[in-house]
Structure 1
Amino acid sequence: MQDVTRFHALDSLRGICAIAVVLYHTHVVGSITEWTFFSNADLFVEFFFVLSGFVMAHAYGGKRQLDLSRFLVSRTFRLLPLHVFMLAVFVGLECLKYAAYRRGFSFNQTPFTGIYAPSEILPNLLLLQSWTHLTENLSFNTASWSISIEYWTYILFAATVLMASRRYLLWTVIALVGFALLYRQIDVLTVYAQKGVGCFFGGALAYAFFSRLRGWIAPGFALLSVLEALAAIAIWWVLTSDLPQKVLAASAVFCVTIVLFAFDGGALSRVLKHEFFARLGRLSYSIYLTHLAVLFFVISAFMVVQKKTGFEAAPMLGDIRYLDTGHVWLNNLLLLLILTVVVTISTATYHYVELRGQSVGRQLVRRRVATSAP
């Protein structure tokens, strides 16, 4: 089989999963956000980890040598620019909340306290916030916890690649340790680190299996179409079930799903190659990191309406703040509007923050190559 340079269906799946995470964090009365599937869609963050391990193993796992400095620059300027930009946005939001607080308007928590304390800014800048029990793991931009885990897992992955003869054994050991700690609920690492490390290296092993499998067989369109449909059904079943170890079950299903869609050959893969889904895939990182800021503004606006009019536009149901216009059809229209705004803003951050950050990284690499040339 011809070498794969890009997994188009998997790129699109990343975008769909990012939208699902947005729906998980959005709570609108009478909308699809109340479906059991979307109320468990936070599990798609594990899909991101598995897919990252799969793609990293594809890009670097077969290399006999690894240019470590080039790897670090590439990965740093892939993740850090948007993360730092959004961290600045959330610090700015705390400033706005503080100004409102001084005028007697409360957002349920005193500004710059708890997970928004100034002491949490440095751990966020260093992407360490979700690794230690000494820091607030979900501080400021809550979604960035996974970026914290992913970045330093990249470093661990690079170390295993440098040990060329033992990399597959190390991937297996690390994945098993991560999942074992998660299963036994042993707090050697934070639960976020256990999930991220286990899933990432599980994804790396999935690629090792895929790279051998595609050399043995070339499944046709009909078979792949059936298997892709079964994988989609399995994901739906796991997310809507009451399994006691749902994270582990979902991770296993995600590994199998990614291997199947990596062939890019079934009916669902063909649909996912459409430009609409491909665009969501390109925007997925921005969608994931920007959506909570968008939701903050929407929720704040509804809280102001509630305070000024007395209408329950932002009711608390349990521990969750919901949005409600008073009409189911308007609520679903509101949800569509929120998604549109998130994608629009993500388009801007993708072009003006992500791509520019990556460009700076490439310039640094080229400059290093030029200075080291004889």
Structure 2
Amino acid sequence: MRAEKRFHSLDSFRGLMAISVMLYHLRVSGSFTEWLLFRHAEVFVSFFFVLSGFVLTHAYGSAAQFNFRKFFITRTFRLLPLHLFMLSIFILLECGRYMAAQKGMDFNNAPFSGKFAPSEILPNALLLQSWTYLTNPLSFNYPSWSISIEYYTYMIFALILGIAFGIKTWVWATMVLVALTLMSAGNTFFTVESLRGLAYFFTGCLAYTVYVRFPHPNRTQSWLLTTLEVLAVTAALVFVVNDFAGKQLLASLLFGVIVVIFAFDGGAVSRLLAGRGFSFLGKLSYSIYLTHAAVLFCVVSVFMVARKILGVDIAPVIDGTRYLDLGNVPLNNLIALLVAGSVVLVSMFTYRYIEMTGQALGRALANKPAHNSPVLRPDTEA
């Protein structure tokens, strides 16, 4: 039964986290985007990694046979089509900036320079931008830094299942311990982004091994799960809005515990999250996450052009950060809502025509018979 289970509340969490990260990058003076929760929402990217490790372990971790070819194709076509589409959009936007610069438009940075330099295109296309200090992890579509880490972490996960299945839990624990140790030691060999991704992803793998060892609560124990869910959400909110030493290290443990609690889908908060609206956002989460930077870029550009035409500074720079500001709090809140709604609308399009198309193609290729297809046959774990 567990092999067929879908984690409805965890799916919804993806959407909520994606929206929160989008609002973290959107700055509208005096609006809800400036709430303390959203000003610290960058930590929610860590939750994505934990959740990915948990879900992939559910899907593949107990398989008697592991087909690397099928895994590679389906995971690649899950992530790469939308990533490459958005990379091409950013390249087109830079071309637009270049043409505008030729007509005398001034920009803070010259087109195709810095994080938009042509030398960054190939590392981004190959999802390598976050693994080496030779490249800028925030180049072009900056949220894709985490997709870069996640994609190759998938492959490390597959390798572990293929060659170390019998001791996979110990290998996952070692990966987490080594990554967290290197993070705290301030190493200069691996990027911090890669260490975070590895630590959080394999924490998710370990969280699943904890989850399967718990008996599934029955309906009469709903009150217990509701209590645990409320406590988990409260702890998460307190954790997110406060800054303290070791926050990135503790995120791994806290988010792992939260994922295990909500994986049972048994409490009142889980039932709320399983509602149609939250589920809809969960379905769009990957598109929301990867498209929002381009939408925000376009919105800010429109405000900057309007500022030049109107002679009113509606796109001020405050402490090095570009804000949107119409000089009225209700209007600013309305602008923030419209921008968020625009991201969701764009995401509906990319989900339908980019994500789903890519996934369908991936499934077709993965299910196509391949001569001498490598099937890794792991030993049974004791």
TM range (shorter): over 0.9
Q: Is the 8 A contact 1:235 1:250 kept in 2?
A: no
Please give the alpha-carbon distance, in whole angstroms, between the structure 2 residues aligned to 1:107 and 1:14: 35
> How far apart, in 1, do the equivalents of 2:3 and 2:113 lie?
51
Q: Which moved more, 1:143-152 or 1:102-111?
A: 102-111
Which of 1 and 2 has higher RCO (CA within 8 Å, sep 6+)?
Answer: 2
Count of equivalent residues: 371
Partner residue in 1 for 2:257: 256
Name the structure 1 match of 2:269: 268
User: Does structure 1 residue 154 correspond to structure 2 residue 158?
Assistant: no
Once residues 363 and 59 of structure 1 are traced to their aligned partners in structure 2, the CA distance between those partners, rounded to angstroms, is: 19
Percent identical residues: 50
Query: What letter matches 1:348 in structure 2?
Result: F
Deviation for aligned residue 1:366 = 2.4
Instruction: Indicate the SS of the match to 1:368.
Output: coil
Q: Does 1:22 align with 2:22?
A: yes
Query: For each residue in 1:313-353, what CA deviation from the matched residue of structure 2 results, as whole angstroms up to 9, or x when unmatched?
Result: 00001111000011100000111101111000000000000
CA distance in 2, matches of 1:276, 1:38: 20
User: Which portions of structure 1, spanning 4 or more consecutive aligned residues, are displaced by more than 3 angstroms?
Assistant: 1-4, 369-372
- Give the CA deviation at 1:65: 2.2
Task: Output aligned runs, 1:175-190, within 5 Å.
Answer: 175-190=176-191
1:208 aligns with 209
User: 1:370 Cα shift?
Assistant: 9.0
Greater CA drift, 243-252 or 286-295: 243-252
Q: 3-state SS of the aligned residue for 2:368?
A: helix
2:211 and 2:264 map into 1 onto residues whose CA distance is: 9
Query: Residue 3 of structure 1: CA displacement?
Result: 5.0
Deviation at 1:137, TM superposition (A): 1.2
Residue 262 of structure 2 aligns to which amino acid in structure 1?
Answer: F
Alpha-carbon deviation of 1:185? 1.5
Separation in 1 of the partners of 2:334 and 2:135?
38
Structure 1 length as normaliser, TM-score?
Answer: 0.96
The DSSP-based 3-state class of the residue aligned with 2:312 is: coil
Superposed CA RMSD = 1.5
For 2:100, the equivalent position in structure 1 comes to 100
**Residue 359 of structure 1 aligns with which residue?**
360
User: Is 2:70–2:367's contact at 8 Å kept on the other side of the alignment?
Assistant: no
Which amino acid in the other structure matches residue 337 of structure 1? L
2-side partners of 1:146 and 1:339: how far apart?
21
Question: Unpaired runs of 5+ in structure 2?
Answer: 374-382
Q: Which residue does the alignment assign to 2:380?
A: none
Q: Distance in 2 between matches of 1:106 and 1:255?
A: 47
Which deviates the most, 203-212 or 176-185?
A: 176-185
**Matched-pair contact (CA < 8 Å) for 1:181–1:187:** no
* 1:169 Cα deviation from its structure 2 partner: 0.7
In 1, distance between residues paired with 2:214 and 2:279?
26
SS at match of 1:214: coil
Taking a change above 3 Å as real, the CA distance of residues 228 and 297 of structure 1, as seen in their structure-2 partners, is same
> Are residue 79 (structure 1) and residue 82 (structure 2) matched?
no
Gaps of 5+ in 1: none
- Contact map agreement 1:49 1:199 (CA 8 A) in 2: yes
TM-score for the superposition, normalised by structure 2 = 0.94
Q: Deviations over 1:52-104 (max 9, x none)?
A: 00001111111232100000001000000000000000000000011111112
- Post-superposition shift, 1:183? 1.5
What is the rounded CA distance, in whole Å, between the counterparts of 1:255 and 1:106 in structure 2?
47
Tell me by how many angstroms 1:180 deviates. 1.1
Q: How far is 1:310 from its partner?
A: 2.0
- 1:38 has 2:38 as partner: yes
